[in-house]
Amino acid sequence: MKSLVSRLERTVEILMALALAIMAGCVFGNVVLRYAFNTGIAAAEEIARLMFVWLIFLGAILATRRHAHLGVEMLQAALPPSARKVCAVASHLLILYALWLFLHGSWTQTVIGMNIRSTVLGYPTALMAAAGLLCAATMMLIVANNLLLILTGHPAAVVPGTPAPHDDTSPKAAPAHPQGALE
């Protein structure tokens, strides 16, 4: 299972890099064409916008998976472990509710977008809303999985405010004054 998750993460990273490259190429190409030749590619803006939307939502999925979203853990860190766990469960339930609203709204926009075409390229605008749909569904799975780990007391559960275990693989900081330096 871990190798599948690692491969999916790697696939998302590759898709993000591809979206960024396409977006940068479209924007840079259009800038050069407009500056040098007083013309541009009309589809470049739509392609760049579509790639940007997918890049952001794929990045949000990775950030959720890696627990890298911004959070203020000062209050939770000051709580005893049992209260920290209660806060984590409550916040996960609120996050799941917000993601449900996001999923529902994205589904509605995807259905509406099936019949609406983009101005230049003519692709269904549902392609844009589908990024939110995928993002919300995937993030719900990730948050629900961590909630289950918290409720079962699994050691892999991520509870905000809990100190990270000591990592022996990190390089040791050099002393401010190596022995003999002051003598």
Q: Each residue of 88-128: pLDDT tens digit? A: 999 999 999 999 999 999 999 999 999 999 999 999 999 99
pLDDT tens by residue, 22-77: 999 999 999 999 999 988 898 999 999 999 999 999 999 999 999 888 887 888 88
> What is the pLDDT, as a whole number, of residue 181?
42
Quickly state the pLDDT bin for 170 (edges 50, 70, 90): very low
d(CA 142, CA 32): 42
> What is the pLDDT, as a whole number, of residue 166?
59
When pLDDT is averaged across residues 160-180 and rounded to a whole number, the result is 56
pTM of the model: 0.83
The upper half-sphere exposure of residue 153, i.e. CA atoms within 13 Å in the direction of its Cβ, equals 2
> What is the pLDDT, as a whole number, of residue 183?
38
The full DSSP string for 40-107 is --HHHHHHHHHHHHHHHHHHHHHHHHTT-S----HHHHHS-HHHHHHHHHHHHHHHHHHHHHHHHHHH
Quickly state the pLDDT bin for 84 (edges 50, 70, 90): very high
